Amino acid sequence: MKLGVFDSGIGGEAIARALRTTFPSAQIETVSDREHVPYGDKSPAEVRNLTETALQPLLVAGDCHVIILACNTATAVAIEYLRDKYPSQKFIGVEPMIKPAAAHTKSGVVAVCATPATLASQRYKQLVQTYGPTLEIIEPDCKEWAYLIENSLINRAHIDTIIENALQHEADVIVLGCTHYHWIKEMIEEIVAGRAAILEPSEAIGQRVKYLLRQIAE
């Protein structure tokens, strides 16, 4: 079995690492587009073009059972385009976990840490309308996080300020809506110190891959 994992930068490596644990015998190939990272401040047309171009090594080879778009921004604006253009290829995307957050929260306040492009996307708006109409959703300013993480420039005090502000607004769930942010999940957990749940989609992606593989086998 071969799985392809794409992200604009190093965020995909976090997803690939989780998949290697779930599927130890699988061949997992990662591709990225670090030349153009981050995607979160680009237009939808730019993101679609950059994503499709970066995916060409996987698409041309045509031997991936599933390609995972380990990028919330690319998923939000490009995955339906890719599914239409490459109907024989199975794609899985990642998106902010609004549904699980709605089920988990007790305060009714959820913080969604994501890029501007993800927050502005129609898919994100649909998720909020479907699963979070009664929630108070805080959207902290995280637009610099992907760049800082990609370039090993992350500042603990900067993250601390943003997370503490969300907690002061009674958020009891923090959604990591960008796979770059997985690299600072432990830092965020230390800051939160049990005061909120941290949600990210690594485990859910593995379950979705298993589901698609069963469909292929049938």
6-25: pLDDT as tens digits: 998 887 888 898 899 999 99
> How confident is the model over 152-189, as pLDDT tens digits?
998 899 999 999 999 999 999 999 999 889 899 999 99
pLDDT of residue 125: 94
pLDDT of residue 206: 86
Q: Domains in the chain and their CATH numbers?
A: 2-94+202-217 (3.40.50.1860), 98-199 (3.40.50.1860)
Which residues are CB-neighbours of 199 under 8 A, at least 6 positions away? Answer: 97, 100, 101, 104, 173, 174, 175, 176
Task: Write out residues in the chain with pLDDT < 70, as ranges.
Answer: 217-218
178 is catalytic: yes
71 is catalytic: yes
Reading across the β-sheet that carries 109-113, which strands appear in turn? 136-138, 109-113, 173-176, 197-199
Which position among 64, 71, 113, 142 bears the catalytic label? 71
pLDDT of residue 2: 93
Q: How far apart are CA 14 and CA 216, in angstroms?
A: 25
| Tokens coding 156 | 């603990």
Q: How far apart are CA 120 and CA 96, in angstroms?
A: 12
Which position among 64, 113, 142, 178 bears the catalytic label? 178
Paired with 176 in beta bridges are: 113
